[in-house]
Amino acid sequence: MKSIFHFVDGKEFKGDSKRVSNIYNPATGEVQAKVKLASRADVKSAVESAARAFPDWADTPSLSRARILFKFKELIEKNSDELTKLIVSEHGKVYDDAKGSLIRGLEVVEFACGIPHLLKGEFTENVGKEVDSWSVRQPLGICAGITPFNFPAMVPMWMFPVAIACGNTFILKPSEKDPSCSIMLAELLKQAGLPDGVFNIINGDKEAVDGLLKHDDISAISFVGSTAIAKYIYEQSAKYEKRVQALGGAKNHCVVMPDSDLDQAVNGLMGAAYGSAGERCMAQSVAVAVGNIGDELVKRLSQKVEALKIGPGIDKRSEMGPLVTKEHLIKVKGYVDLGVKEGAKLVVDGRNVRLQGYENGFYIGGCLFDNVTEKMRIYKEEIFGPVLSVIRVKDFNSAVDLINNHEYGNGTTIFTRDGDSARSFTNKIKVGMVGVNIPIPVPMAFHSFGGWKRSLFGDHHMHGLEGVRFYTKLKTITSRWPSGIKDNPEFIMPTMK
């Protein structure tokens, strides 16, 4: 059985913990590897390595740091097939989708290659007589990232390329469900010339996370995962005096206006609700049918949901792969059972899908609910599976109120051909990432990613300028060179005369 260890000081690190967790192949249900779960002492070793590497790395010219990232970018491209296969084998999503997610991560590396431009400070000559003032952005020190299972390459790459390009050292704690891709990224960074200790990986669960949160030498925590844990990370980071950005769960609404191009809306919804088996924080899990569009929308959706091709992610014909674990499959099926009990109409039932030769895989077919209401738990809670709920509202304003009253505010989209509705929607909606006729409005690397309300705790979104601000602290220097000036003591606030 393959064992997956940590990566510290530029090499595999076995650590002293004996605890392990199973890594499954979701397509077959088999255990394919065991991953080590770090102890507090293992976390301490990683922090010591990152601390040793920090002073030299922070002093390395930003262009030299960026050049290592350029090499890293080339290595990711060269090894993209292998990285993609690692994602497919541990997460379960289909190959092309996994490849797409790797590329979205690569785009953050491309962004980080240009960071020298963004680390330039500001300068004002003569803020006072012969006094100059300037500001610089300096690295924080050791930063840590804690990431979810659903994007094993992309979400870590929202964080570490920006952090290390800004001169920080980094410790990643990937999801214990699919850690192999991160280990390979660490090896590629080393090949690219990254000094040992600048990027480390600690595998583990709550014990490793708590070790990071409580360690005095860690300056900042970036987290992506479920809302309950995001809130915990936010509170603990504040308690232990760390800068924090903690991105949480979601319930994304897709508004379908009566004037929309219905084919475009249905195709957009299919990809956004069932792509990656709904295991995306930007999945559209609620379709809001406005006015009289509901019947036709449900009819067209149901035909397509029934025709979805379910299969192992590595099979190029599959449109939707399995869920990540059996535990998660049971949870998602439980929500479908609950929806039926709550009185929603289950138009397409994917609970009984069985694939010949893959009987033990974690598969569920696409599920479609109609007549869902605001009071139902299947509407309020994040299901994180291929389950789309259609909720009917009478008009545009009711759709906006519905979304604004929801506890989550990650992403949302409106399908319409009316500019007035589109503009009003983008202006009024209380959500961080908004699409107009774009089913999954994930911002590019040079913009920033983040939700509102209980989808993000903290002040900064990820990557783009927000990422640079998060991973640097501002210092402002005011200076005067004495040239025969004789100062008397001044006991009042200096002001401009």
Residues that bind ligand NAD (CB under 6 A): 146-151, 155, 173, 175-176, 205-206, 209, 224-226, 229, 232, 247-250, 281, 382, 384, 410, 451, 455
Nearest residue relative to ligand NAD (C-beta): 225
Nearer of residues 230 and 393 to ligand NAD, judged by Cβ: 230
Q: How far is the CB of 293 from ligand NAD (least distance, A)?
A: 27
Please state whether beta strands 433-436 and 452-453 pair in parallel, antiparallel, or not at all (unpaired). Answer: unpaired
Q: What are residue 128's phi and psi, to 5 degrees?
A: -140, -175
Dihedral angle of Cα 394, 400, 401, 403, to the nearest 10 degrees: 110
Whether 281 is catalytic is yes
Q: How far is the CB of 61 from ligand NAD (least distance, A)?
A: 32
Q: How far is CA 406 from CA 323, 369, 401, in A?
A: 26, 19, 9
Cβ-count burial of 271 within 10 angstroms (0-12 exposed, 13-18 middle, 19+ buried)?
Answer: middle
Task: Give which of 27, 20, 17, 26 is closest to 4, Cα–Cα.
Answer: 20
Please give the structure tokens belonging to residue 176: 């214990």
Q: How far is CA 352 from CA 30, 88, 272, 489, in A?
A: 20, 23, 22, 83
Q: How far is CA 288 from CA 189, 348, 391, 454, 495, in A?
A: 44, 18, 5, 21, 58
Q: How far is the CB of 30 from ligand NAD (least distance, A)?
A: 21
Q: How far is the CB of 29 from ligand NAD (least distance, A)?
A: 19
Please state whether beta strands 2-4 and 30-36 pair in parallel, antiparallel, or not at all (unpaired). Answer: parallel
Q: How far is the CB of 72 from ligand NAD (least distance, A)?
A: 22
Nearer of residues 75 and 159 to ligand NAD, judged by Cβ: 159
Nearer of residues 86 and 229 to ligand NAD, judged by Cβ: 229
In the numeric block, the tokens 């214990």 are attached to 176
Nearer of residues 363 and 449 to ligand NAD, judged by Cβ: 449
Tell me if residue 253 falls in helix, strand or coil. strand
* Spatial CB neighbours of 274, under 8 Å, sequence gap ≥ 6: 305, 308, 319, 320, 366, 386, 388
Task: Give which of 195, 178, 177 is closest to 186, Cα–Cα.
Answer: 195
Tell me if residue 207 falls in helix, strand or coil. helix
Q: How far is CA 160 from CA 15, 102, 232, 442, 479, in A?
A: 22, 14, 22, 19, 34
Nearer of residues 224 and 367 to ligand NAD, judged by Cβ: 224
Nearer of residues 249 and 439 to ligand NAD, judged by Cβ: 249
Q: How far is the CB of 432 from ligand NAD (least distance, A)?
A: 9
Nearer of residues 73 and 177 to ligand NAD, judged by Cβ: 177
Task: Give which of 497, 478, 468 is closest to 111, Cα–Cα.
Answer: 468
* Spatial CB neighbours of 181, under 8 Å, sequence gap ≥ 6: 83, 86, 87, 90, 152, 153, 174
> Which letter does DSSP use for residue 276 in this model?
G
Q: How far is the CB of 111 from ligand NAD (least distance, A)?
A: 17
Of residues 143, 254, 281, 367, which has the active-site annotation?
A: 281
Q: How far is the CB of 449 from ligand NAD (least distance, A)?
A: 6
Nearer of residues 145 and 366 to ligand NAD, judged by Cβ: 145
Task: Give which of 213, 203, 176, 452 is closest to 327, Cα–Cα.
Answer: 176
Residue 3, CB-side half-sphere exposure with 13 Å CA sphere: 12
Measured CA to CA, the distance from residue 345 to residue 391 in angstroms comes to 11
Q: How far is the CB of 191 from ligand NAD (least distance, A)?
A: 25
Nearer of residues 197 and 204 to ligand NAD, judged by Cβ: 204
* Spatial CB neighbours of 48, under 8 Å, sequence gap ≥ 6: none
Residues with catalytic function: 281
